[in-house]
Structure 1
Amino acid sequence: MIIMRQMNIGTSNLRTSVLSLGCMRIAEMELKDASHLIGTALESGINLFDHADIYGNGKSEELFAEAVEMRPSVREQMFIQSKCGIRSGSFDFSKEHIVTSVDGILKRLNTDYLDMLILHRPDTLVEPEEVASAFDQLQHEGKVRFFGVSNQNPMQIELLNKSLNQQLIVNQLQFGPAFSGMVDAGLHVNMLDQAAINRDGGILDYCRLKEITIQTWSPLQYGFFAGTFLNDEAYPELNAVLNRLSEEKSVTSAAIAIAWVLRHPAQMQPVLGSTNAQRVAEMAKASEITLSREEWYQIYTAAGNILP
């Protein structure tokens, strides 16, 4: 097994690989292929696995447990997180739904506990006191060690913090060279152009101030699940720069794109969404690369982003 660079998640003592494997699409895989994918991730030094109860309507979690032949000795080698809160046609952060969801997640994963539970997107009908009660119960029962959120802005996190007895140590947000709004607004402060629009309440700086780890989902995508920018004819300049740097550093262009996310001093943790074992192994090499400041900005501007 390769020893990948490690990081602490938020302010916790939870120390994991700097990359994680997203398990959203494994429900569509054959058992042997899922086993090979997860085994390759572990051999590449990735030990954090990201789930959600809606991925494959729970099948992703079930297949994962079957693929790794889940038992205590296997469980100890990995950190597992899952998400809840999305229901068909609605969001639900009620205590009843959170507690019931976790019981279902644990059963499907064949484990007694989650290293982290993440609230999946915001629920505008959230009652922070109910979330706090659910978290207290889950922590007291030993079912969840740590907690986080996804796609939340600073004030939404502050609203939860009003009642919580636990720290939120993760915020999952989409971020990559072709989806860089968190960075754009900060670079275009006091400007009147489109990039200056602050759409997330300054979540990047907020998370840095509060020491909340940003886990970046779909780092190789453009738009909202519109597709990957790698080798896409809509991004010729970006791919030219990625290809040049990949040749110089003897890794794939995907690894360079992941290294771009890792280079930011916010210490973000990319979630790799590929189900191709070889690509995961290749992207894992991003942890060994540190891009220069000049290389980071070359990729940023090649993606069509403009510096003021």
Structure 2
Amino acid sequence: MTFTNAIVYNNGMVIWVPPITLKALCNVNIKYWPYDEHNCFLKFGSWTFDGHVMDVTPMNKTNPGLLKDIWKNTEFHITYINVTRDVKYYDCCREPYPSVTFFFKLQRRPTLYHYIISMPAIVAIISSLATFWLPIRSNNRFILNSVSLIILSLLLIFLGIQFGMSSFGVPIAVRFISLTTLFVGLLQVWITIAFNTSQLKGQIPVWAMKFTKPLIQLYRNTEHESIQLTQSEQTADVTNKKSVAKHPNAEDLTFIVDKLLFIVFTFMIIINSLV
């Protein structure tokens, strides 16, 4: 045990500043991480001496005076402090037992997390949306969406290590990145299906032509879709496109579904960010 000095005044007041580290009890709520705010308190009193023997009173009850002497933390900053003195009487004893409680609010500094969490997530989402505007038979779609999926997965791993597996509640940011990772994973499945479906030689059924033909004429861009083809494939592709107006094929249907999924994917991302 380390002995420390105390300042004793002639009126009986004693000032003792022990060199100890105190752990505060906090109501942790990480739902709005990294903009979370926590309510904490420290309570001081005696279990062995009553108020007639040892009285506990705060030296300074004003918030500016308390905040002035607090060392700044790089992750949290204290936004509010309040000091209350309470005197409690127990059933066993008639003597008063005073205590002093410090209530304070901690708010996280979110600036760092904007760069290591928000920016990579935004880049990954934009990259996934950009895959819809690449040719269906382009290998760049696989690469770009795979990179987005890896980035989001690494962010989830980092957040899992950051919070631990025993944290109370799920932050909105973690839920957003988790669902976005699911959407990007499903998009990877669709890219695989679209790549194989676009190479089928079958034609769209007659009953579906009246629905697909206007969309093909409105959205299809032959030059854009042929940019990734070889010279021989472009020659065959141009020959096949001459009959598109009469007999749309599987590639045309895949193109329409791909653009519709772009709208659905964008809508799901927006809903996920608002919920």
Identify the TM-score tier after normalising by the shorter chain.
under 0.3
Higher helix fraction (1 or 2): 2
TM-score of the aligned structures, taking structure 2 as reference length: 0.22
| Larger-Rg structure | 2
